[in-house]
Structure 1
Amino acid sequence: MPMNRNFAAQEPARTEVDAYEGPTLLEFGAPWCPHCQAVQPLLEEAFAHHPGVRHIKIEDGKGKPLGRSYRVKLWPTLIFLSNGTEVDRLVRSGDGEELRRAMEKIDPTVR
């Protein structure tokens, strides 16, 4: 699965996310957020090496239940899941190496 460049039209329910199989990256943010925009090249590079990771971009904000269930406070918040379970989390990180290590935790097969 390639990197998703668009925010989901509708966020999935937490029960749906908890039932995901395999590696998943939840990206919480907003299209107008400069921090979210700045991390996009790093995500693109990471997904080039991990094409099997499901990527879900979620436009977060006040009253959005999925973000609140993960206690998201700053954007971007990247939550790395393996079979629906959180393995790692990066908040407002601009460190490509840190992102690479987190991706390897959920998808150890690097291309």
Structure 2
Amino acid sequence: MSKPYSVEQPERSAVDAMDGIVALEFGADWCGHCKAAQPLIQAALGAYPSVQHIKVEDGSGRKLGRSLRVKLWPTVVVLRQGQELARVVRPADEEEVRRALATAD
């Protein structure tokens, strides 16, 4: 797996204020679905080097995930200035993630 999911979460207002495209990935290091999706997500992000990728550990009571209505892991939410452009839940292939990232072009 690439870098672990961060326990530290940015505030939603900080995420909304970020310039450019942000791919927020929600999950947990112990999650089998998250582990399986890592190569797909990383490969898709490789085609979009300007996208800021933030991996956030999610769980019950985690405010950032709740503010974006995350229910399953992994979930990748693509944002521009706080506006959701696309979302991929439990991606099955790299192309699914690439299509989500392409919405930001």
What's the counterpart of residue 68 of structure 1? 66
* Partners of 1:7 and 1:95 in 2: CA distance: 20
SS at match of 1:17: helix
SS at match of 2:56: strand
Q: Identify the match of residue 47 of structure 1 among 45, 48, 58.
A: 45
Partner deviation per Cα, 1:55-110 (whole Å, 9 max, x = no partner):
1100000111111111111101110011221000111121221111111112x3xx
TM-score (norm 1): 0.87
* Partners of 2:28 and 2:5 in 1: CA distance: 8
What's the counterpart of residue 97 of structure 1? 95
Q: Which moved more, 1:31-40 or 1:96-105?
A: 96-105
What's the counterpart of residue 22 of structure 1? 20
Letter in 2 for 1:86: E
Number of residue equivalences: 104
Letter in 2 for 1:21: D
* Partners of 1:55 and 1:93 in 2: CA distance: 16
What's the counterpart of residue 80 of structure 2? 82
TM-score (norm 2): 0.92
Answer yes or no: is 1:33 the counterpart of 2:10: no
Letter in 1 for 2:67: S
What is the RMSD of the two structures over their aligned residues, measured on CA atoms? 1.2
Q: Name stretches of at least 5 consecutive residues in structure 2 with no aligned partner.
A: none
Q: Name stretches of at least 5 consecutive residues in structure 1 with no aligned partner.
A: none
